[in-house]
Amino acid sequence: MSTSPEISIYHNPACGTSRNTLAMIRQSGAEPQVIEYLNTPPSRAELVDLIGRMGITARDLLRRKGTPYDELGLDDSALSDDALIDAMMAHPILINRPIVVTPLGVKLCRPSEAVLDILPNPSIGDFTKEDGELVPGRNGE
């Protein structure tokens, strides 16, 4: 497996989608830089850059399940992107995952097979997720 410093994954090892995405990257023959973002959160500038490169809003990156989303009142549509980013900086668990960065783009990989759209080598063959779901291979793309 080749080391691919140009591929990074903002990863939560407790998340099945994140583990599946990491496994797909590795099955492609790449060894990404793994950033356990709960231990090493991105800086505000990095987070703003990732959001911009994904072409989404800060709200699109918010995770609700298993987070203080409701307690913080983050469903208030009047909250600005800056306010939502402030919340993610204070509580990194609010950042949805996994975020993958490759030379082909940056993407929130939910579902995990979305990573295939930005992998330099998406020909990983068949892949079975942890829950048993089969992701048919993308050979020869």
Annotated catalytic sites, by residue? Answer: 15
HEC letters along 118-134: CCCCCCCCCEECCCCCE
Name the phi and psi angles at 95, rounded to 5: -80, 120
Q: Which residues contact 138 (CB under 8 A, 6 or more apart)?
A: 116, 122, 123, 124
**Among 38, 35, 37, 88, which residue's Cα sits nearest to residue 58?**
88
What's the one-letter identity of residue 91?
H
Strand 127-128 relative to strand 134-135, pairing: antiparallel
